[in-house]
Structures are given as C-alpha cells and as structure tokens.
Structure 1
Amino acid sequence: MAVEVVMPKLGMAMKEGTVSLWSKAVGDPVEKGEAIASINSEKIEMDIESPAEGTILNIAVQEGQGVPPGTVICHIGDPNEKIKIDEPVAVETQLKIDEQEKPKTKESPTLPMGDRLMITPVARKMAQAANLDIEKIEGTGPGGRITKEDVQKVIEERDSIPVNTEKRIVPPKPAIESQQQIPVMGMRNIIAKRMKESLQSSAQLTLTMKVDVTDLVILQKQATETLQKHDSTKLTITDFVAKAVVLSLKEHPKMNSAYIEDNIILYEHIHLGLAVALENGLVVPVIRNAENCTLRQLSNKGKELARCARDGQLPIEDMQGSTFTISNLGAFGVEHFTPILNTPETGILGIGSAYDTPLYIGEELERRTILPLSLTFDHRVLDGAPAAAFLQTLKRYLEEPITVIL
C-alpha cells in the first residue's frame, strides 16, 4: 500500500509550508530516510526524508506551492502500484492534461525523468532572467543541484569575455547595464518585512560603550580549562555577556519590557533571545527563564539552540517570546554597529569584536582588551539616561567578572 508523505507541522503557529525543491522525480527509487524534498515555513527550512523504501509514485505539490500542514505532497510505494482516484493527481500528469487543453506550440526539449535537472527555484529564475541554458550549467550543490552561486559564476564568466577590438567600429549604442532579478521569498522575505516593520513601528536609538574585559578574558580561559577537565563545556565571552545581561535586566526591569498598543508591558521573567546567522537568513532562538540559569546552563542551552537552528531542527516555539535579544558580529571584525529591535522588545544588545589597546591604569600604561557594545532601545519606553544606566551596570559586571559567577 502506498505511503503518504505529508507537509509536516513545524510548530503550533505554522499555517502553511512551501515546497522549495523536489530532489526526486516520479519514478525515482528512494531509500528510507533519504531526502526527497526541501520545504520552508517562515524562518524554518528543512529537508523531508522518505518514510519508507520504494518508488515516487506521484508528486501532488509543485515547487513554490504553499499548502497547509498535513497536506499530502507525494506517495511512495511499489513501482507498479496504482494511486486511488480520490488522492491528489501527480504534477506531471496534470501538466499533460493542461497541455492537451492548450493550443499546440513548439515544445522545448525535456530531459528523461532519470536525468531530471535539480536546480533551486532562485537559481532557475536567475538563469531565465540571464537567458542561460540550465542544461549547460554544472551544479555544485548536494547531488549535483544547481545553486544560485553556480548561476552567478556562469554570468560573471560570460560578462568577463573580452570584446574583439579589431572588428569594424560601429556607432556606439546606449550602454545597458547587466542586471539580475532575485526573487525575495521564504526566510529572506519574512526578515525583510519584519525589519521594515520594526523601524516603522518604534522609536529606535543606539548607544555605544567600550568595556575593559581584560580580567574577564583571563577568567574565561581559567574557567574553560577547569570545566574541560570534567566535560567538554567551553565558556565563551558571549556566555559571560549573556549572564551579565540577565543580571543587568534584573536591576533595570524597564529594559525587559515591550511597547504594545500604547502600553508598556513589564515582563516577570527574562526570555533571552540569541541571534544566530544562517546561510540564507537569521533566526533568534530563545532561552526561557534565563534568570534561573547558571552561567554554565546559559552556555549549554545557547549552544544547543544554535546547533538546532543551523541544522534546521529548531521548532517555531523556540523562536518566539523573547524579551531581550543579543546579537554578536564580533567574529566578522565589526566593532560598533546598529542592531535593529526584535519588536515589540524594548532592547537589543550588539557585541562587537574585542581588540587590544594601550590604556592608562592609574599612572601606568598597560595593554588592555576592549569589548565594544551597542545598545538599541525603544525611546518610547525609556529615555537615554536610563538606557545608559543599563549599559553602565552591564559594564560593571563585565569589568568585575567574578560578580557574574557568584
């Protein structure tokens, strides 16, 4: 009996999922656990694995089509097995029916199903816009899939071919700049809308401050060496900053709030969001009730959430409900930047790249490590002075790091 493959529900709030790419075609054999399609829903992108061994009997949902959770997207069974009449018609079958109803036109060459080209939707549209033959593009993605980088490479190589200057000189024509049109969809589309809404719906202001973390770096290395004797835990500077943020929020509860419908909502608990960069976007996993976590627990939970996010296994519930967010661009060499609020939150802290510089400590000039911080806050909730006071409290914790672990 044929096995139904359905659109999974990636969280309680999910209303629709989209098939972004089919890795298999009708008639292709599949193994149990083998990836057969890629799907996305808001900030989640993942592969769907075959629940059974068999053959793809039909494909009921086309690439780019969104359907509610639970919708059958294909069937897997024995090669000669028939699908019930009341079940979805295969995309390939429907296309044939549509073609019979349309006036006959010159057909473009197609590949046999066994040689079906795998290409991402974005790459396909880029290739069409640039008038490229996708059959001549070499794919470097999984299973030979053609990616947007592959198409971009072909376009750049084509545009870099030198012009033969020995040919007859013709009157110059107005230059037409080569353009690419990349559709904004999936996660990128959601991020674009939310960032625009954030800037339009709040009064954002950013303050910057430099913190001397010389003693913190020493403590962090000592703590990591001690912990790794017992397990693989590795504490990072970001872990210490996260704990210091939680302690500072407890002293400045107005920063742990939200502006909703002309009301300031003060939260009882601290749900700390940690921005995680993905290949095609950004997600913010949430450590709930962070005020009850030790430094080590914050570190372990943060790393586990980040791993799940990068593997596409993070439930939507774990990306909702944060009350304050931390974003770290230090690994990219950025010092100060302007993070955008994860509305309706009141604050978001940006961590820059630490650097060494000579500083006077009393009368002596010493080599010290400086960590740049950027705090964006909603000016509707609090003014510059209380926001600066929050930064000063955070600075105190980081410059007296023993207070973070006591």
Structure 2
Amino acid sequence: MATEIVMPKLGMGMEKGTVVAWQKQVGDPVQKGETLVEIRSEKIEFEVEAPEDGVLLDIAVPNEGVVPCGTIIGYVGSPAELVNTDSSHVTQTTAVAVAAPPQKKIKISPVAKKIAEAAGLNIDSIVGTGPDGRITKEDVERAIAAGSPDVGPHVETKPTTATPSVAAKIPQENPQDLSAAPSEPVKVFVTGVRKAIANRMLQSLQQTAQLTITMSADVTDALEIQRQHGERIRERYDTKLTVTDFVARATVLALLEHPQVNSVFSDSEILQHTGVHLGIAVALDDGLIVPTIRNANRLSFIDLAKSVKSVSQRARSGKLHGEETGGSTFTITNLGAYGVEYFTPILNPPETGILGVGSVQDQPRYIGSELQRRSILPLSLTFDHRALDGAPAAQFLGTVKRYLEAPIHLLL
C-alpha cells in the first residue's frame, strides 16, 4: 500500500509550507531515511526523509508549491502500485531502471542557489563552508568574485538596464584604473526565512515597549570548572561544556525565582508560565531560528548542556522536531563568538525578555584588597516594559549574575 508524504507541521505557528526541491523524480528508487524533499516554513528549511524503501510513486505538489500543513505532497511505495490522489484521479507509476549510482546530493542554501544560477555558476565547483559542507551565500559570492572558470557560458554578456546580470554587479576592483565607473550593488530578494525574520522583528519593535539594561558577571570560577572538569565530562557524558551552558542553567534558575520575567503580555493581562521553555537563538546561512528546549527547568545542568547542543546542531541541519520550533517563554542569544560585548537584542514575540551574551573579556578586578585578572562576561537584557518594570528586570539580571559567579550552585 502506498505511503503518503504530507506537509509536516513544525510548531504551533506553522500553517503552511513550501516545497523547495524534490530530491527524487517519479519512479526513482528511495531508501528509508534518505532525503526525499526539502521543505521551507517561515522560520526554517528542513528535509523530509523517505518513510520506507521503495520508489517515489507520485509528486502531488511540485517545487515552489505552497500548501497547508497536512496536505499530501507525494507518495512512496512499491513500483507497480496505484496511487489515488483524490476520488477521481488515479496514477500508475513504474520504477525507472537506474544504470548508474545516484549522484551525491549537493547541499546549498536557497539564496546561494539563486545567486549561483543567475551568475551561471556551476555549483559542483564550489566548496561549501556551512554545516555538513553546505554551500552558503558567502561561498557563492567568493566564487564569483574570484572569477571561477565555471562562470562563463551561462552569464549574460549583454545585460539590460532592467535586469543586469549578477556577474555585472560584482565589483571588478582595479586600483590602477581610476576612470572605471562605480559598480552597482548586488540585489538579493527578501524571501522565505529572511522575509519572515524582517516581519517579526519589525512587529516586535512596533508592538512592544522594549528597554535594554546591561550587567557584567565574573565567570572566572565557571571557566575554571570548565578547564578542570571539561575533559572528564566530555568522556562521561559525550558533551563539551561552553559558556552558553552556564548561562542557560543560570537563566533557567533565575526565571524560577522571577516568574514575572517568564511571562507574556496579552491585551489586559500578563500570563506567567510555570515551566521554562528556553529558546536558543541559532544563526543559519540565510537567517536566524530559535529552537526551543521545553521544560528546561526539569533538566540537570549536564542534560541542559546536551540539549542546547542537540537543538543547535539540528537547527543548522534542518532536522528539528515539530515541538522544538516554537513556544519558547524566554530566549538567549549569544554573539560572543563574534567578539561582540554589549548589544541590544530584540524581543522574540510574545516573550517578555531576551538575554544577550557577549564575549568574555579578561579585566583587572579587585577581589578584596587584591588586584586580580578576572574573566568578565557582558550580559544585555531586553524586556517588555509593559509587562515588567526596570527594578524587577534588574533583580532578575542580578540573579543570573549571582549564579554565574557561584557556579557550584549550577551543578547541584
């Protein structure tokens, strides 16, 4: 019996999805667990895997088709099966013999693919620097700027005023030629994830009263725990401790002490959550996603650390589970890896607060009367002033600081 492939629903807010690209054609053999089709929601892209061995019997929704969640988009089954896509339509398919083994799939982000196609660039020649060798927009732009030998036959040699080619827009720098005309900027259409992020961030700023306060925490002792016990924890629990893990645990414990921060402002009432559903902002090739660790308050320090890494890795590879793509009650965003110290994070609606984590800086600090070199972590808390006043927000941030500076309490 044919197995239906349906548009999945990832998260409460997802109502429809877009078929980005089928990785198989009708009649192609498939293996259970093999990527069958790439899907895009407003937040992320992800891969739908074949539920069983067989062949792709029918494609009900073609590439770029947009349908509601739960809609049948294709069928997988045995080669000679009949597939009923509705009461009046019957499709019969047979397997197509494949003489050569299937080519290895090239992972590339949609934005990168569009730029490469517009420039006539052969993506086979590009080395991807993203997760699992995924080709990013930056990889394609570097290949074009470097004058890849595969850019040529497909590039327009006579671009029109209305639709100049991408290759024509890339600056051809020549410091010797001062008379060269200024180059035109590269146009990147705002669609998919980028468009969804733009809309949500504008909505966040327009519909909330956002204020950011900052504080620093001395994480010298926390980093010493990481140094002394990190290898043992990695061997025993198969996870590597990071600053984000300490911050995540401190945040969860602080939210339990300050439930007003773990809340949502809704019309004339404030809804305080009893459980902490922690959002972890993850940067993707062409946007940002906030996967959710549900009931983070029930997890031990090590389990929380493992969960942070697990959802972050699956977010980058597009393999998040449905319950992990929404419903967070508080978010952490970390720009420390980029050398950023203090910054102003924007609320992830409808949450009341978001904590920004900066880069650890070594600074001289007095411990009693002794001047010591200490590791200082910048923290930036943005909160919705409609739901929370400055004093309780500062108290919450102070509690996060207290836990980070006495890390033994994070382990208990």
1:136 and 1:349 map into 2 onto residues whose CA distance is 39
2:355–2:380 contact (8 Å) kept in structure 1: yes
2:235 and 2:134 map into 1 onto residues whose CA distance is 44
Unaligned runs of 5+ in 1: 91-113, 167-171
Residue type of the partner of 2:365? L
Which secondary structure does the structure 1 equivalent of 2:397 belong to? helix
How far the C-alpha of 1:282 sits from its partner, in A, is 2.2
How far the C-alpha of 1:263 sits from its partner, in A, is 1.8
How far the C-alpha of 1:205 sits from its partner, in A, is 1.0
Q: What aligned pairs does 1:333-344 form with structure 2 within 5 A after superposition?
A: 333-344=339-350
How far the C-alpha of 1:260 sits from its partner, in A, is 0.9
Which secondary structure does the structure 1 equivalent of 2:64 belong to? coil
Matched residue, 2:405: 399
1:31–1:52 contact (8 Å) kept in structure 2: yes
2:18–2:40 contact (8 Å) kept in structure 1: yes
Matched residue, 1:242: 248
- Please, what TM-score do these two structures have when normalized by structure 2? 0.75
2:13–2:326 contact (8 Å) kept in structure 1: no
2:402 and 2:21 map into 1 onto residues whose CA distance is 50
Q: Which residue of the other structure, out of 220, 227, 230, is the alignment partner of 1:214?
A: 220
How far the C-alpha of 1:72 sits from its partner, in A, is 4.0
Q: What are the superposed Cα offsets for residues 297-332 of structure 1, whole Å, 9 maximum, x if unpaired?
A: 322332332233233222232232222211111122
Q: What aligned pairs does 1:152-163 form with structure 2 within 5 A after superposition?
A: 152-153=141-142, 155-156=144-145, 157=147, 158=167, 159=170
Residue type of the partner of 1:152? E
Is the alpha carbon distance of 1:89 and 1:354 closer, same or farther for their aligned partners in structure 2, counting shifts above 3 Å? farther
Is the alpha carbon distance of 1:30 and 1:248 closer, same or farther for their aligned partners in structure 2, counting shifts above 3 Å? closer
* Corresponding position: 1:256 with 2:266: no
* Corresponding position: 1:40 with 2:46: no
Is the alpha carbon distance of 1:321 and 1:211 closer, same or farther for their aligned partners in structure 2, counting shifts above 3 Å? same
How far the C-alpha of 1:352 sits from its partner, in A, is 0.9
Residue type of the partner of 1:19? V
Q: Which residue of the other structure, out of 63, 85, 89, is the alignment partner of 1:86?
A: 89
How far the C-alpha of 1:35 sits from its partner, in A, is 2.8
1:3 and 1:148 map into 2 onto residues whose CA distance is 36
Q: What are the superposed Cα offsets for residues 326-378 of structure 1, whole Å, 9 maximum, x if unpaired?
A: 11111222111111111221111111111212222233221111111111111
2:354 and 2:337 map into 1 onto residues whose CA distance is 18
Unaligned runs of 5+ in 2: 94-101, 148-166
Is the alpha carbon distance of 1:161 and 1:346 closer, same or farther for their aligned partners in structure 2, counting shifts above 3 Å? closer
More displaced, 61-70 or 144-153? 144-153
Matched residue, 1:20: 20
- Please, what TM-score do these two structures have when normalized by structure 1? 0.76
Is the alpha carbon distance of 1:355 and 1:35 closer, same or farther for their aligned partners in structure 2, counting shifts above 3 Å? same
1:203–1:379 contact (8 Å) kept in structure 2: yes
Matched residue, 1:372: 378
**What fraction of aligned residue pairs are identical, expressed as a percent?**
52
Matched residue, 2:352: 346
Q: What aligned pairs does 1:150-189 form with structure 2 within 5 A after superposition?
A: 152-153=141-142, 155-156=144-145, 157=147, 158=167, 159=170, 177-189=183-195
Residue type of the partner of 1:46? F
2:134 and 2:248 map into 1 onto residues whose CA distance is 40
How far the C-alpha of 1:42 sits from its partner, in A, is 2.5
1:318 and 1:339 map into 2 onto residues whose CA distance is 21
Is the alpha carbon distance of 1:227 and 1:69 closer, same or farther for their aligned partners in structure 2, counting shifts above 3 Å? same
How far the C-alpha of 1:46 sits from its partner, in A, is 1.9
> Quick check: which has more Rg, 1 or 2?
1
Matched residue, 2:310: 304
Aligned-residue CA RMSD in angstroms?
A: 3.9
How far the C-alpha of 1:32 sits from its partner, in A, is 5.1
Matched residue, 2:158: none
2:297 and 2:134 map into 1 onto residues whose CA distance is 45
1:72–1:88 contact (8 Å) kept in structure 2: no
How far the C-alpha of 1:15 sits from its partner, in A, is 2.6
Residue type of the partner of 1:273? G
Residue type of the partner of 2:89? D
Is the alpha carbon distance of 1:81 and 1:236 closer, same or farther for their aligned partners in structure 2, counting shifts above 3 Å? closer
